[in-house]
Structure 1
């Protein structure tokens, strides 16, 4: 019996030794792979759904050997909450403008290393150094767009929707679709009153809510992504939405067009950023530089069909795309567009509560 126990003990020591050797070899292999922090040659990306050409991910892996773990989110708030919790080690996230401001203020983002990222030279200066990230210390512009009006020329003339105020016309009773977004619907109401999209004055915000209430007889529905299908299928002649969704609609129905009202509107930016959870820094900068190469940025823009801030990519894209002022507006129009700021928890809640009250009055 003692001999048997001694033999079993000796075997267990051998097994433990083999596991120790295996761990050493894996660690050595990971170190040789040149990754930082997590010990595996991977890159963890957290992005909006269907917001990158999948073939570019394949190309990146083929060129660099880094395997990509790719997850998607539905809103800035969902992404923020998951990164804030810190349970998952994402290397790259894609927050919108106001969320970059919030995350950098809360020290959830890491600064961009200018020695490792060489791509800023490819970007149009008009889309850099914005208020949400002065000097682009924490973010790289990915795509951009606007908030505007989609109309169907079978039922509406362009001259009837060139101003936000025209939406309140009685001729549009039960004819308008609104995107389900407190910030965006309050934005056009505030702009129609000559106010800032970032207004925090109680009287102004209440007045904007009252004006939205006055619009309700003209509102057919308040929708999420379904607004694309509804407009394409001509369920309504007018929709308020983002330029990216407008481009999808127009591609499916030749009678649809997009207008940025003359009073101005919101210009939004989605951005590449590095969260504090990041670990694979060598892979991160390889990817950021890869996506900033004009040929790759152009390919991505053709797939996503949103406006690219990459001036090198613009030179490659067809003139039929970059010359379309619906989605690449003139400098005159751009100067009249406004970026959202982070309203802070208090005012974000006020806007959301008032918007919920507005929606509850819908039929």
Structure 2
């Protein structure tokens, strides 16, 4: 593996960068920082970090254990847990029972949380490595002035397919509605990504506020439902690798796992276009360890750490400097870093008005249940059972009165 340069030196809670020679471990392809950074004294502080699943370098397969390295350098502990959708992240925080210090929401969810005062403003004097974030990722529409977020990764949504079973040319999202692949199709288990695919097929904006367009997209998803084997998130890995499923939409960064480990799996960005997304690091309002959380974000922005992290995760980095620590074939791979023509045919999610979000939730529930007809049947069944239950209670009370007489 190539030689590595530029090391991060953290002092107490604030971080400064020194440029020192470092090399990767030649024997096992791992990352070794032990000689340059002696262990820090434990601070007695542990931060709670909440991230997507399969979204950080964890020390397996010779990779850098990012959280362990942060603790070793700073003495700050990390309690690390994962979520699978932006909506589940939001529900956890909005419910008030969560106590997190660093979270990793996507663009549209960041703007929603800002609007609801759910995020802390960042103190960038504690995050000097923000200077490495490329200009195009600063001051985004979802967070004016980058006041509440620091980009972590970016990517696009594409379509995975197994060439052993799908032999026709795959160019369009429409193949996810092809009846010949019934029970071999996977679909996103979150409304925003699932609706986006239907909207792209219909030629609608991913951020439309036209209720008729959302209802039309929902009808298309209802038509697809009988063909869908399962609505999934990270389960896509096992199902596609085993051949249990043949077609699935998912995020470009995961192509590094699926395509490289299975020669039968290919990945394309359909001709109708796709979603361009940014996931970023934020601090929830009321964090008990804000300075330590900022130290963590700063650590994650160090180009060498970011490079080691993305080398394992596979997603695109928002730091040009971090690409110096990635293999050239990764940086040149259009799956991870699409060309400008492809990127021009993408759209970023934005936060939608409350009434549109409520409509989406209702329509998504109908899609998952099979439509409003099925929902009515379910309600009718519940009413019947309640009626039977009430009748039994009344009968028992009357019987008890007779026995007492």
**TM-score category (smaller protein):** 0.7 to 0.9
Gaps of at least 5 residues in structure 2 are 1-11, 15-42, 59-64, 372-405
Question: Aligned runs of 1:129-278 on 2, under 5 Å?
Answer: 129-157=139-167, 160-169=169-178, 171-216=180-225, 218-278=227-287
User: Partner residue of 2:125?
Assistant: 115
1:58 aligns with 2:62: no
- The alpha-carbon deviation at position 175 of structure 1 amounts to 4.1
SS of the aligned residue for 2:221 comes to helix
**What SS does structure 1 have at the residue aligned with 2:124?**
coil
TM-aligned CA distance change 1:84 to 1:74, over 3 Å: same
CA shift, 1:137, in A, is: 1.4
- Judged with a 3 Å threshold, the aligned counterparts in structure 2 of structure 1 residues 155 and 336 are, in CA distance, closer, same or farther, namely same
Q: 2:46 aligns with which of 26, 42, 48?
A: 42
Aligned with residue 300 of structure 2, among 281, 285, 291: 291
CA contact (8 A) 1:267 1:339 kept: yes
Which has the larger helix fraction?
Answer: 1
1:76 equivalenced with 2:76 (yes/no):
no
Over 3 Å counting, the alpha-carbon distance change for 1:207 and 1:116 in structure 2 is same
Uncovered stretches (5+) of structure 1, i.e. residues with no partner: 1-32
Q: TM-score, normalised by structure 2?
A: 0.73
CA distance in 2 between counterparts of 1:188 and 1:85 reads: 29
Deviates more, 1:176-185 or 1:288-297: 176-185
Work out the CA distance in 1 between the residues paired with 2:270 and 2:139: 25
Distance 1:282-1:176 versus aligned 2 partners, 3 A rule: closer
Question: Equivalents in 2 of 1:175, 1:62: separation in Å?
Answer: 45
Contact residue 86 and residue 277 of structure 1 kept, 8 A: no
Whole-Å separation in 2 of the counterparts to 1:147 and 1:90:
28
CA contact (8 A) 2:283 2:290 kept: no
Distance 1:246 1:359, change over 3 A: farther
* Cα-to-partner distance string for 1:277-301 (whole Å, 9 max, x where unaligned): 2233432332222111111001111
TM-score, structure 1 as length reference:
0.80
Structure-2 change in CA distance of 1:50 and 1:148 (3 Å): closer
Q: CA 1:209–1:69 in structure 2 vs 1: closer, same or farther (change >3 Å)? A: closer
Q: Which has the higher contact order (CA 8 A, sep 6+)?
A: 1
Report how far residue 324 of structure 1 moved.
1.4
Superposed CA deviations along residues 323-357 of structure 1, whole A, max 9, x for unmatched, are 11112211221222111122344323322332332
User: Conserved in 2, the CA contact under 8 Å of 1:176 and 1:240?
Assistant: no
Report deviation, 1:268: 1.9
Instruction: Report if the CA contact (8 A) 2:308-2:325 is conserved.
Output: no
Would the alpha carbon gap of residues 170 and 119 (structure 1) be closer, same or farther in structure 2, given more than 3 Å must change?
Answer: same
Which of 282, 289, 297 aligns to 1:280? It is: 289
Structure-2 separation of matches of 1:252 and 1:272: 29
SS at match of 1:206: helix
